[in-house]
Structure 1
Amino acid sequence: MGAIVDAFTWLATGANWQGESGVWNRLAEHLYFSGVCLLLSCLIALPVALWLGHLGRGGALAVNLSNVGRAVPTLAVLVLLTLTPLGRQGDLPTVVALVLFAVPPLLTNAYIGMREVDRAVVEAARGMGMSGWQVFVRVELPLAYPLMMTGLRSASVQVVATATLAAMAGEGGLGRIITAGFNTYNTPQVVAGALLVAVLALLVEGALVAADRLLAPMRGRDSGRRTA
């Protein structure tokens, strides 16, 4: 308990929140870094998963290949990439490692969500004269949305938590608070940094859950209008 109390004392010290090495700056770096990696992961995984799910072909292979990335520790990938020529490209090794880590849950959940759409509903929509694009946008995508959102929440929390490893490659973020604490044998600072990462991950999860609940009534009204 003493380490926890000392960590809260460290967090309550205003000087630890100011300056380039302060909490606010490290938090901004962490959010920016995580946001960029998550955006790149969505741009890579979601179009592939949704298109393959719509076609109904090749998705299982894509999912299995993406899941191979889950078996490889992110830290190991980060270290290996740092030793390659990519290591001289600034934060690129960390971005690549985090993107590879975030793609599997996004790809898997989006593809499964598309494939679990009732085929009878899809055929009925086609029987009403809907084009392939209309079926995709008006039927398959709304029904696949819950699983897609689950994958997004999972990937977001994983990226926010794992972005702490960026400090191992000399990048910014909340991980720098932890590594600085280790370097100076400052246990309260290490615990405080870990608490900040945990709280941030919980806040991101809560924000996405709240956004999902806010969007749910809008999706229901939109579905009602389309049905009418």
Structure 2
Amino acid sequence: MNYLFDAFAWIFSPARLTGTLPLPVAIAQHVAFTFGSVAIAAVIAVPIGWLIGHTGKGREIAVFLSGAARALPALGLVVLLVMLFGVNLKTEAAVTVFVVLAIPSILAGAYAGVESIDRAVIDAGRAMGMTEWQILFRIEMPLGLSLLIGGFRSATLQVVATVTIAAYVGLGGLGFYLIQGLNLRDFSEILGASIVIVALALVLDGVFALLARFAVPRIDGPRRRSARVDITDAVRALQVSP
């Protein structure tokens, strides 16, 4: 219990605002690495996931590559890429690893969101004369958004935990305190930094949980007796929704 009190004392100590790496700066670095890597991964994975979900082709390859990426040892890969890229490009090497780790969850969320949509809704859209691009952007993307956000949620939590290894190659972040605490055998610093990382992960998890809750498009209107009419009304509502 004393370790826990010492950890919170370390977190809220005025000394955390000074020194080689102030705590707010370390948090900012950690968040920047996390969101930067997830954003790059999204640019790569989301279009591919939507394409797989819309066409139904390439799913097996995506699953295989996603599983292989999840199995990569992050720390070993960071060290390997730093050696290959050179010390001057160690930031790029670390971000590359974080992007590779984020891609599988986002890719899975993107194509699973599209695949989960009732085919009757897609058929109704085609019957109303919608093009394949209109079906993708007006039906599949809005209705699959909840699962896509779930993919972002999973990827962000994985990356925010893995970014701690950036400090191993001198890139800062909250992992700096873990490594420094291990070297100094300062258990209050190790536990304090761990608490901050967990708190940051919980905050991000809560944000994505709220986003997922409000991601499902609202389709207003009275209940119909015919399921086919319900589907048609849903497609029309998606066509005019912002």
> With structure 1 as the length reference, what TM-score do the two structures score?
0.92
Q: Counterpart in 1 of 2:11? A: 11
Q: Counterpart in 1 of 2:22? A: 22
Q: Which amino acid aligns with 2:21?
A: S
Q: Counterpart in 2 of 1:204? A: 204
Q: Counterpart in 1 of 2:135? A: 135
Deviation at 1:183, TM superposition (A): 1.9
Q: Counterpart in 1 of 2:237? A: 225
Deviation at 1:20, TM superposition (A): 4.6
More helix by share: 1
The answer to whether the aligner puts 1:75 opposite 2:87 as a matched pair is no
Deviation at 1:55, TM superposition (A): 1.4
Residue pairs, 1:21-40, within 5 angstroms:
21-40=21-40
Distance in 1, matches of 2:88 and 2:25, equals: 24
Task: Give CA-to-partner distance per residue, 1:85-108, whole Å, 9 cap, x none.
Answer: 354313111101111111001111
Q: Counterpart in 2 of 1:165? A: 165
Distance in 2, matches of 1:173 and 1:35, equals: 13
Q: Which amino acid aligns with 2:196?
A: L
Distance in 1, matches of 2:130 and 2:4, equals: 60
Distance in 2, matches of 1:166 and 1:127, equals: 52
User: Is the partner of 1:130 in helix, strand or coil?
Assistant: coil
Residue pairs, 1:116-127, within 5 angstroms:
116-127=116-127
For structure 1, list consecutive stretches of 5 or more residues without a partner in the other structure.
none
Distance in 1, matches of 2:182 and 2:79, equals: 19
Deviation at 1:19, TM superposition (A): 4.7
Deviation at 1:214, TM superposition (A): 4.2
Say if 2:113 and 2:147, in contact at 8 Å, map to a contact too: yes
Distance in 1, matches of 2:160 and 2:18, equals: 22
Say if 1:18 and 1:24, in contact at 8 Å, map to a contact too: no
Q: Counterpart in 1 of 2:223? A: none
Deviation at 1:131, TM superposition (A): 0.7
Q: Counterpart in 1 of 2:231? A: none
Task: Give CA-to-partner distance per residue, 1:18-62, whole Å, 9 cap, x none.
Answer: 355111111111111111111001111101111121111112212
Task: Give CA-to-partner distance per residue, 1:192-224, whole Å, 9 cap, x none.
Answer: 0111101000000111212333444xx215867
The alpha-carbon distance between structure 1 residues 120 and 209, as it changes in their structure 2 partners (threshold 3 A), is same
Q: Which amino acid aligns with 2:90?
A: G
Q: Counterpart in 2 of 1:66? A: 66
> With structure 2 as the length reference, what TM-score do the two structures score?
0.87
Say if 2:90 and 2:169, in contact at 8 Å, map to a contact too: no
Deviation at 1:143, TM superposition (A): 1.9
Say if 2:109 and 2:151, in contact at 8 Å, map to a contact too: yes
Say if 2:149 and 2:211, in contact at 8 Å, map to a contact too: no
Say if 1:63 and 1:107, in contact at 8 Å, map to a contact too: no
For structure 2, list consecutive stretches of 5 or more residues without a partner in the other structure.
221-233
User: Is the partner of 1:166 in helix, strand or coil?
Assistant: helix
Task: Give CA-to-partner distance per residue, 1:68-88, whole Å, 9 cap, x none.
Answer: 111112112112212213543
User: Is the partner of 1:84 in helix, strand or coil?
Assistant: helix
Q: Counterpart in 1 of 2:226? A: none
CA RMSD of aligned residues (A): 1.9
Q: Which amino acid aligns with 1:39?
A: A
